């Protein structure tokens, strides 16, 4: 439950610190007094995006803190994954809104807005007039059904999504093969020409580099010959003999003085390496030969390779790979039909797996739908709507193919309702009226809250457009909800206000040219006066005050 809310420098609110209790709390006040700012503040605590325009004029930042107390293993697991300690069920959410950026902290630990949304759905649920749009738009109906058992349906949806993605991948591979085959059949002559051209070119890895090296050798043959001859003359001098003699002398010296032993060993080791290198060079120098006439042949080959690279816009290794690919496509080893048949089998198996999981999700949703229908009819009856209600699932068959597999399952649903006997069931989105919408939405909320054990529920003028007996029924339904969940409600209806366990008045005043909003918990006498004010809409008469007293006191019996 929410047990404390502090707001600083938010619009006309300079500083509000209000405590909340279990049960049913009503917030009342005149138009523009700041009631909507209370809801805005709670919405920000529960993950709504913030605007710097909310900051009170002349201030740098606005700060909102919500103090919650809730024991939930699931919530504690999420907090733990975010590095947040639950402090034995005590949760402090802080939103700081500045003109540069906003901050979110939970128990002093900074988190992202998306992480706050993961947490907030376990803390409270806000109902406002925009929620009416959900029951007027069939696109939201699956989300509404799934919300009655979020954890369970979410597990099924995650498994379905994984299988759906696998099917889409197999289908993509199958379609790629079909396209590849079609392209081959359309351009076989062209591909055969390319294959024959590349095959005839006799491409090989490293040939390009080898040609460049040979061309360089031929073009620099004179320099290479001069340098090699100079080196050859030096090699054939008595350098090695002298080195050998020096090493033998060092060997004798080391027998008398040990410091020569290490030098001898080093020279002895290197001598045979140098001798081997000299022998190799002698062979190289003696076999040095080049053919100037070969230069034209090499340069022509180099030019041919460059032309192939330019023509195909590929490197030599890429051309070799492309030649192999062409061979696979048009050669004797190509068997598109078999490959396509195998890929089709894989695709069909993936489709069946996704469809089967989708049917499991449908079965779960239909089970939930039966419970919703039963509970909603009862709840609508409590709200003086003698309505028949049914959740209709469109028939889906495996033969429907891709059309059956939607992103959130197989299902398309509609909410059907009959509010006037004999009229028959019709789409809820097409026949609903304003007052009916409020009560139907409240009926949905009542069973949603019960199914999900929502700790705190906030109603923002859910009673709009309702009066008379319907208003009393709405008040009783909200009070019924408060028996199992903490309820905070903004209302203009005396019927709702009179049934509250606690009353808070939001009022504003102008002082020194500035507007200030205040929150005050009302005593029983003050609550009676406020209910009388709601009845009158203006000046309160003694009769209205007496009636308000009767409403408030009878609600406490």
> Is residue 228 domain-shared with residue 322, that is, in the same domain?
yes
Per-residue pLDDT, 221: 53
> Is residue 82 domain-shared with residue 14, that is, in the same domain?
yes
Partners of residue 524 on adjacent β-strands: none
> Is residue 100 domain-shared with residue 214, that is, in the same domain?
no
Per-residue pLDDT, 6: 94
Domain-terminating residue out of 313, 337, 361? 337
Domain-terminating residue out of 337, 358, 375? 337
> Is residue 201 domain-shared with residue 312, that is, in the same domain?
yes
Q: Going by DSSP bridges, is the β-strand pair 426-427/413-418 parallel, antiparallel, or unpaired?
A: antiparallel
In a domain, 412, yes or no: no
CA dist 528 and 522 (Å) reads 9
> Is residue 14 domain-shared with residue 112, that is, in the same domain?
yes
In a domain, 544, yes or no: no
What's the number of domains the chain is made of?
2
Residue 292 CA: distances (Å) to CA of 216, 288, 360: 12, 13, 80
Number of Cβ within 10 Å of residue 468's Cβ equals 10
> Is residue 105 domain-shared with residue 207, that is, in the same domain?
no
> Is residue 195 domain-shared with residue 106, that is, in the same domain?
no
> Is residue 192 domain-shared with residue 75, that is, in the same domain?
no
In a domain, 109, yes or no: yes
CA dist 418 and 432 (Å) reads 10
Per-residue pLDDT, 333: 45
In a domain, 310, yes or no: yes
Domain that holds residue 485: 1-123+455-522
Domain-terminating residue out of 320, 337, 354? 337
409 secondary structure, DSSP code? B
In a domain, 241, yes or no: yes
Four-CA torsion 466, 470, 476, 479, nearest 10 degrees: -20
CB 18 within 8 A of CB 505: no
In a domain, 444, yes or no: no
In a domain, 226, yes or no: yes
CATH of the domain at 108: 3.40.50.300
In a domain, 193, yes or no: yes
In tens digits, the chain (557 residues) has pLDDT values of 999 999 999 988 989 999 999 999 999 988 777 888 898 999 999 988 888 888 998 889 999 999 999 888 888 888 999 999 888 889 999 999 998 888 999 999 999 999 999 898 889 988 866 666 677 788 888 988 998 888 899 999 999 999 999 999 999 999 998 988 888 777 778 888 888 888 888 888 888 888 877 777 666 555 655 555 555 555 556 666 677 767 777 777 777 677 767 777 777 777 777 767 766 766 665 555 556 667 777 778 888 888 888 998 988 889 889 888 888 777 654 567 888 899 999 999 999 999 999 999 999 999 999 999 999 999 989 988 888 899 999 999 999 999 999 999 999 999 998 887 777 888 887 766 666 777 888 888 888 888 878 889 999 877 777 778 888 898 999 999 999 999 999 988 999 999 999 999 998 888 888 888 889 999 999 999 999 999 888 788 899 999 999 999 886 55
- CA 442 to chain centroid: 30
Four-CA torsion 243, 245, 247, 251, nearest 10 degrees: 180
CB 493 within 8 A of CB 465: no
> Is residue 116 domain-shared with residue 258, that is, in the same domain?
no
Sign of CA dihedral 181, 187, 190, 193: positive
> Is residue 182 domain-shared with residue 117, that is, in the same domain?
no
CA dist 178 and 173 (Å) reads 9
> Is residue 117 domain-shared with residue 184, that is, in the same domain?
no
Q: Is 346 left (phi over 0), alpha (psi -120 to 50) or beta?
A: alpha
CB 499 within 8 A of CB 482: no
């Amino acid at each position: 439950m929410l047990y404390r809310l502090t707001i600083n420098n938010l619009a006309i609110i300079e500083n509000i610190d209000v405590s909340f209790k279990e049960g049913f709390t009503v917030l009342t006040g005149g138009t523009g007094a700041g009631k909507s700012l209370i809801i805005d503040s709670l919405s920000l605590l529960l993950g709504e995006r913030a605007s710097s325009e909310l900051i009170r004029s002349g201030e740098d930042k606005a700060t909102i803190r919500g103090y919650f107390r809730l024991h939930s293993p699931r919530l504690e697991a999420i907090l733990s994954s975010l590095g947040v300690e639950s402090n034995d069920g005590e949760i402090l959410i802080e939103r700081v809104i500045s003109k540069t950026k906003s901050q979110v902290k939970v128990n002093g630990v900074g988190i992202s807005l998306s992480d706050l949304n993961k947490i907030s759905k376990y803390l409270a649920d806000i109902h406002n007039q925009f929620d009416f749009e959900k029951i007027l738009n069939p696109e939201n109906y699956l989300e509404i059904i799934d919300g009655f058992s979020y954890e369970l349906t979410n597990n099924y949806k995650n498994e379905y999504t994984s299988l759906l993605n696998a099917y889409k991948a197999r289908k993509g591979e199958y379609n790629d093969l079909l396209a590849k085959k079609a392209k081959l059949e359309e351009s076989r002559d062209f591909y055969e020409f390319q294959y024959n051209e590349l095959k005839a070119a006799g491409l090989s890895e490293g040939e390009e580099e080898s040609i460049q090296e040979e061309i360089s050798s031929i073009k620099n043959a004179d320099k290479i010959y001069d340098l090699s001859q100079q080196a050859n003359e030096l090699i054939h001098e008595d350098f090695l003999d002298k080195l050998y003699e020096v090493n033998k002398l060092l060997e004798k010296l080391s027998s008398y003085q040990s410091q020569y032993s290490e030098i001898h060993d080093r020279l002895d080791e290197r001598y045979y390496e140098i001798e081997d290198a000299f022998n190799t060079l002698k062979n190289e120098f003696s076999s040095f030969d080049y053919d100037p006439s070969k230069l034209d042949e090499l340069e022509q080959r180099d030019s041919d390779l460059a032309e192939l690279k330019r023509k195909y816009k590929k490197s030599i290794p890429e051309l070799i790979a492309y030649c192999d690919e062409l061979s696979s496509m048009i050669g004797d080893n190509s068997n598109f039909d078999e490959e396509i048949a195998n890929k089709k089998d894989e695709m069909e198996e993936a489709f069946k797996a996704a469809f089967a999981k989708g049917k499991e999700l449908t079965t779960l949703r239909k089970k939930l739908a039966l419970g919703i229908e039963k509970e909603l009819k009862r709840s609508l009856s409590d709200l003086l709507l003698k309505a028949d209600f049914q959740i209709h699932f469109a028939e889906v068959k495996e033969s429907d193919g891709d059309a059956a597999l939607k992103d959130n399952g197989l299902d398309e649903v509609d909410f059907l309702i009959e509010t006037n006997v004999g009229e028959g069931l019709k789409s809820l989105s097409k026949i609903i009226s304003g007052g009916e919408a409020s009560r139907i939405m409240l009926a949905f909320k009542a069973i949603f809250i019960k199914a999900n054990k929502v700790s705190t529920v906030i109603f923002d003028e859910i009673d709009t457009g309702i009066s008379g007996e319907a208003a009393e029924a709405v008040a009783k339904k909200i009070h019924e909800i408060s028996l199992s969940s903490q309820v905070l409600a903004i209302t203009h209806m005396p019927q709702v206000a009179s049934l509250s366990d606690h009353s808070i008045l939001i009022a504003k005043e102008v002082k020194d040219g500035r507007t200030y909003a205040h929150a005050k918990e009302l005593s029983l006498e003050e609550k009676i006066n406020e209910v009388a004010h709601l009845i009158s809409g203006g000046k309160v008469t003694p009769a209205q005050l007496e009636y308000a007293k009767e409403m408030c006191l009878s609600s406490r019996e």
